[in-house]
Structures are given as C-alpha cells and as structure tokens.
Chain A
Amino acid sequence: MSTRPAARPVRTPGLSAKEEIMARLRAALDVPRRDAVTEAADVPRDYQRADDRQEVSTDPAKVRDVLAQRIADYRATVHRTTPSQLPAAIAEALDGAGSVIVPPGVPEGWTAQVAATVQVDDGTPGPRELDVIDAVLTGCHTAIAVTGTLVLRSDDLSGRRALTLVPDRHVVVVQADQVVLGVPKGIERMGEDPASPWTLISGPSATSDIELERVEGVHGPRQLHVVLVDPEPEPEPDSPAPDGTSASAPTSQETYR
C-alpha cells in the first residue's frame, strides 16, 4: 500500500473546466517533443488511397466477386442477381417473413414479388412496433469489397437507423455502381455528407466475448441477406469467344484472397 493518500487533482478557482484543461494542455506542451512538431502535411499518405490505381482500375466484376466472398465470410447470405431478376431475388431473400417494412425511398418494383405484407415506414413506429416486424428491406449508399462492408446513410433508401436495427432479418440491395474496392474510397463517398448518421455493417450482429469464439446474432439483426445486383450479362454470341474485357483487366484479386 502507498504510504500516503494520493492527492486530489488541483482545480483553480475562477477558471472554468474548459479554461483549466486548456491551460493544463498548453503548459504540458510547453515542453516540446524532441523532433519537429507534426503538421497535417507531414502525415505520410502513401498507403492505398481512394485514387489508388488498384481502386480505380480493377475490373468491377472482380470487385463484386470480392465483395460477395467477403460478406459470405461473415456468414451472411449473398444473393447474386441482375436488374431484371431483382424482384425475384428479393422475394427469395424475404422468404418466410410474414411482415416487411421498407423505407419510403425503396422502389415499388423491389417488392413486386414479395408475398409478405409490406409496410412503408413513415417514421412513426417505435422500437416495440418494429420488434414485431419480421424483416426490413433497404438499399445502401456504398459497399466496400475488401472488408465486406455495407454503408448505410440515414436517408429514404437506407432508412432511419432504428429501422435496420430492430427487425430480426435485414435484406440489403447493393447496386453495382455502389461497390468500391477499399475503405478509403468508401470514406471518401461518406465524406460528401459527413453530418448524416452513418452505419457500417459487416455481417450479422456477432460477439466474441465468450472465449473469443465468434457467435452470430446478439442484439442486431441475426440474419443478414445481401442482394448484389450485377449488370445484365452481354448477349452471348453463338461462337464461344474469349471474354476480352475481364481477361485484360489487371489481375489484382490475388492481393485480396
């Protein structure tokens, strides 16, 4: 045990907490670091950024493949589809759900083949009401392939945050043009509207708190279905010609295996 009780930190009469903390910090920094002070321009930005060659020029089809594989790694369900098959794929992802809620900006066509009762969110249902709804169907703002991350902005397409949190099944539609390769590109897109509430989702709710064993399904939705919309395939010529576009694309997927 210590020989004398520890002293309480001193508070200066007449100074507000803010003034005092600022004065403490300035006094502490009066002793400079030995080498030069680091300015924003000194931060080395030679990691792969949003304008990195790999980010810009990797074949989008390969980026989508990486995304699908990474999301599946989290034990979420991935449905690959095309624009014309989208309603059927959504219906498949919502199979078994009796009630579905959607944010107001979700296109009507998305729910055309859904058997369940579809409710359009008007912002009024509270947590209790949302808890009895089986599933929620939303779009997203961006999807980051390398980390398998869905980026949701609080808007009419991705919904307010409670909507994608309380129902037990979350079905997210990802359009091809929303898919980026790396985190920096994703942050760049979010940075266009930083003040909005954002939610990054990488797989279903999970915990590793018991013996560090990953268990899916704690407080967030226990089922995550991702409907990934690939472009319609090019009409196939009669003779099996080699696919020139993907063969000439940089083979960067190696890095992300």
Chain B
Amino acid sequence: MSATVNLGMPAVRPQHASPSSTLRGTRGFPDAAREELTDEVLRGNLRHATTTIQAKRAGVVREVRDWQKLRNAGSALKWQVTDHLPELLEQLEESVTAAGGTVHWARDAEEAGEIVTSLAIERGAREILKVKSMATQEIALNETLEHAGIRAIETDLAELIVQLAGDTPSHILVPAIHRNRAQIREIFLASMPDLDPSITDDPAELAGAARRYLREKFLDSPGSVAVSGANFAVADTGTLVVVESEGNGRMCLTLPRTLISVVGIEKVVPSFQDLEVFLQLLPRSSTGERMNPYTTLFTGVREGDGPQEFHLVLLDNGRSAVLEDPDGRSALHCIRCSACLNVCPVYARAGGHAYGSTYPGPIGAILSPQMTGVQDAEDPSATLPYASSLCGACYDVCPVKIDIPAILVHLRAKDVDRRRGTRGEFHGAWDVSMKGASRLMSSPRAYDIAVRSAGTLAKVMPGKNIGTLPHALPIVPGWTDHRDLPKPGPSFRSWWDQHEKQRAAGSASGAGAAPATGGDEQQEDQA
C-alpha cells in the first residue's frame, strides 16, 4: 500500500461512483436499444444531426495542417495529467485559493450535492441558474437541489428543452439531439405560458423564444447563485475555462454574485500555455467550428467584474476507480467533445438514451462501466462494452487519441473473466466444445483425421454454405441465424498431398494439368 496512508488507518481504496449517479441504466443496452430502434422519428432526427455535424467537423479539421501533431500533444498532456493527478490537484487548490476562490472536495455524488445545496441555502437562494455541465448531470444535482426546495434553471437551450419536456439528455454536446424542430415547438408551447401560439418551428424563432424566456432570469439572477462546470482547470494559474456558444454561460459566469463550479478531478490541465492545444482541439472536434462563439477564462474573483464569491467543487465520484485500471484509465482523458458519438454507427442508430448513462456513445461505453463498476453479469453497465462494432471510427476522431476500441476489448475480456470466475458461466456447450477443440488441436494426428473427414463430409452436402443450424444443436446456438457458415473445403494437408502427387505425376508425364483439388480452388483459378 501507499506509504502516504497513515498506519492504523484502514487502507483507502479507489471507489466507484455513488449508485445515485445517473451512470447506470435500468436495463442492459441490447434491450434498451431494441426499443429505441423502433422509433422512426428518433432515428431520422439522429441520422440528420449526426451526418450534418460529422461533415462540419471533417471540413474544419482538414484545414488544420498540424492536426495530428496537436492530437499527439493533447494525448501526451492528458497522460501527464493522469500520471500526476494528485500533485496537479494540490497545485490547482493552491492557485484557486490564492486567487480568492474556495476549494471543496467531494468524494461522491452525495457529498457534491450537499456542498452545493448548503452553499445555496446559506445564500438564501430559492432558484439557481445553471450552465450546461456533464458533471452536475452525472450527480443529479438538479434533483438534489429540488429536494431542498431549490429550483435549478437550465440556461443552455438544449438543456432547457430537455428540462421543460421532463426528458433526459441523449448527447454530450446537443442534449436534445433526439428532438426535431416540430417537437421542440410543441414543448415550448406547452411550458412557456407567454409564448405567442403563432410561433413557427423555424430554429431562429425557437431560439428567440428561449432568449426571451431566460433573459428575465439572467438580468435579475433571482438567487444570485449560478452553478457551472468547466472544460479545463489550469493548475499553475487556477484559471477555469468554460467553452460555450450561446452566451448563457457568460451570463451565469458574470452576472450572479456567487458562482459554484462543479468540476471532475480529471479536468485539470498542467499549465495556462497548454490551452493553446486544447482550445484548438475542442471546438473543431465538438461543434465543427474553427472556434466556438464564447470562451470564458476566469481566475478566482476579480473586484468589480463578475461574481464576488467563487467556489470550486472538485469531484471524484468513481474517477479514482477508473484511474485504478492501467488499461482503462485513459477514458479519463475525455474532453467531452462528442465527436465519437457522431461517427459511431451504433450511437447514430440506437441514440443516447439506450446507453442509460449521462455519458452515451463510445466514450460512455468505456467510461460509465468503469465509473459504476460492474457487480455481476446482470448489471446493465456490463452490457455497454459490447455496444460497439469495434469499427475504430471513434479512435480516429478522438482529439486526445483515446484508444476506445482497445479499452472496449479490454473491458469485454474483464467481463468474460468475471463471468467465468463466478456463477459457473461458460460451462455450457461453448466451454465443452472449446475444451474438445483444445484436445483435438494439441494432437496433430487427431486434427488431421478430423479435418480430412470434414472435407469428405462436405462433398456430400449441396451448395457452398451450410444452412441455418438447428437451435437444438449445442454448438453456438443462433450463430448461423444471421451469418453464412461456409462448407469446409479440403484441408491444407490434403491439398498439399494432392498437389505433390500431381507434381510427381506431371514431371513424369510432362502434362501440366491443373491440380485437381477441391471445387473452390478450381473456380478461383478460372476467375
């Protein structure tokens, strides 16, 4: 154990996220996806949105000559952060405190919720303004505040749509990606009492409606408390960086008297200068813009400008558990750009809700199960690493080069090991046939006989493929439902025997006859 743990203290181990976090679905991915896939409107909305943003991203990435070099730098910086996380957090706390901010530490979702709630209550806030933030979504902060009688008002347009519809976000960047303009118009009409019913579903008009609805809140900032997240927290200067588009972030970061930022511990970056890498990588990967409309950088408090009180809540909630796995910990490098969601063929069809977590898509498939931990084979989190075809597109677009496919495979292997170790799984037909194959393959003679007989057997069957195997057959039931199982051809050894025989015969007679082997080879020769 680490020498820093006091003797006599129980050994402190990394901990998974609180069960109250919105990280674990109520059912496995296949069940949830099957249902989502029946929603034609959802699939249409997703297809339109993900193809649009993919094209935009590709266009602005193409014009950056040193893109791959920036990715390399971003990846190395993130490794530097994970390798030195404790020291960088100490440094961040010092810098923020020196700049007039207060730093709080939250082990889990409950602790973070308690800190924010009591800060709000102490300031007499009945309403707080919120900037879109994944961390507060993850810890279900709005629900916690509601229990304490405090209303959280989401100010990001998409979060507002989701909140007004009583819905949950389905995308990291565009939480209402599953809604189209007509649906959004209906949601607004149902929940904004002053809205003129003649409003059309033109996005500009809908955005205008949101502006009017929220502007009063901003200008009066009722409780004078705002809650935000942060994209980056700079260790050497204590600067927090919030990247946004609409200006609701600037409103919340500037106008209220008290600002509380809830930030995952992995968001720390070593130096101010490192922003030159991340502020190039993030906007182009995320919204497909050269730069997002607004980025705010603030350090503690500044007299006469912005909030006069600043609280930083540093959140663990399962991150230490992700860090514990050397092969999975780079999931913490994610800068939440959502490029991997948009290119993922699985996400683009199933949508974000099927993942059951605040973090959907390929990154969610590696992050959520590591944060929640997997309890048993029935755990919905256990299904997420399988929610991928391993096509690799997510790795190609990741601005910090997280090898998502490799981690998916790693998590699948862990899942298989866990299931084999417990509950007596994998002792069915599959295990038996694998054991048989192992015995067969360890004896050259037995193997030779087996494959030779397969070739003979194939000759008596019609066609090129074996049809659907009956389910009663114990070998991999269902495998042939969607796949063609080809008829076995001759084994290499029998082909070689044949070939050698013919060569001997050919050199004797001088006739260069084609080797009369299996039918398939002859067809290939003719082709």
Contact = CB atoms under 8 A, between A and B. Distances in A.
B86 interface: yes
Query: Chain A: interface secondary structure?
Result: loop
Contacts of B211: 217-219
A234 interface: no
A198 interface: yes
Greatest chain A CB density within 10 A among B215, B273, B329 is at: B273
Contact of B292 (A15, A202, A215): A202
Contact of A27 (B2, B161, B208, B237): B2
B375 interface: yes
A99 interface: no
A26 B273 contact: no
B378 interface: yes
Given A146-B290, A147-B291, A148-B291, A47 B66 contact: yes
Given A29-B83, A219-B218, A160 B305 contact: yes
B277 to A, nearest CB: 7
A123 B302 CA distance: 13
B86 A25 contact: yes
Interface in A104-125: 123
B130 interface: no
A214 B2 CA distance: 51
Contacts of A31: 324-326
Nearest to B379: A2
A209 interface: yes
B210 A3 contact: no
B293 A74 contact: yes
A102 B72 CA distance: 43
A148 B290 CA distance: 8
A249 interface: no
A101 to B, nearest CB: 15
Given A2-B376, A17-B106, A210 B203 contact: yes
B237 A195 contact: yes
B76 A42 contact: yes
Given A14-B9, A187-B272, A197-B296, A211 B375 contact: no
Contacts of B207: 207, 209-210, 215, 217-218
B210 A218 contact: yes
B239 interface: yes
A211 B49 contact: yes
Nearest to A21: B316
A88 to B, nearest CB: 28
Contact of A154 (B90, B184, B302): B302
Interface stretch (A32-40, A79-87, A90-98, A235-243): A32-40
Contact of A127 (B65, B219, B239): B219
Greatest chain B CB density within 10 A among A6, A28, A46, A202 is at: A28
B107 A20 contact: yes
Contacts of A149: 291
A53 interface: no
B227 interface: no
Contact of B86 (A6, A14, A29, A204): A29
B247 A205 contact: yes
B380 A218 contact: no
Interface residues of B, number: 133
B68 to A, nearest CB: 9
A24 B80 contact: no
Contacts of B105: 16-18, 21
Interface string B101-127: 000111110010000000000000000
A27 B324 contact: yes
B517 to A, nearest CB: 46
Contacts of B272: 187, 190-191, 194
A208 B245 CA distance: 8
A61 interface: no
B203 A165 contact: no
Query: Chain B: interface secondary structure?
Result: mixed
Greatest chain A CB density within 10 A among B208, B275, B294, B329 is at: B294
A191 B53 CA distance: 32
B421 to A, nearest CB: 16
A188 interface: yes
Greatest chain B CB density within 10 A among A48, A165, A210 is at: A210
Contact of B107 (A21, A46, A256): A21
Contact of A33 (B11, B83, B177, B250): B83
B52 interface: yes
Contacts of B5: 23, 26-27
Interface in A213-248: 213, 215, 217-221
A151 to B, nearest CB: 9
A199 B296 contact: yes
A48 B276 CA distance: 10
A176 interface: no
A250 B115 CA distance: 56
A212 B203 CA distance: 10
Interface in B238-276: 238-239, 245-248, 250-251, 253-255, 265, 270-273, 275-276
B57 to A, nearest CB: 11
Interface string B79-108: 110111110011001000001000011111
A60 B438 CA distance: 71
B300 A195 contact: yes
Nearest to A153: B297
Nearest to A45: B73
B204 A215 contact: yes
A162 interface: yes
A8 to B, nearest CB: 6
A26 B326 contact: no
A17 B105 CA distance: 6
29 contacts: A2-B24, A9-B317, A23-B2, A23-B4, A25-B86, A27-B5, A28-B323, A29-B86, A37-B83, A73-B290, A127-B218, A147-B291, A154-B302, A165-B250, A187-B273, A190-B272, A191-B273, A197-B297, A200-B279, A202-B291, A202-B293, A203-B293, A206-B245, A207-B207, A208-B53, A210-B181, A217-B211, A219-B251, A255-B65
The 8 closest A-B pairs by CB, nearest first: A220-B247, A219-B247, A9-B15, A23-B12, A24-B320, A147-B291, A209-B158, A6-B19
Given A2-B380, A210-B184, 19 more contacts: A17-B111, A21-B107, A24-B14, A28-B323, A39-B83, A40-B270, A47-B73, A73-B290, A161-B296, A162-B305, A183-B279, A187-B272, A200-B291, A201-B293, A201-B294, A208-B245, A211-B48, A212-B52, A219-B246
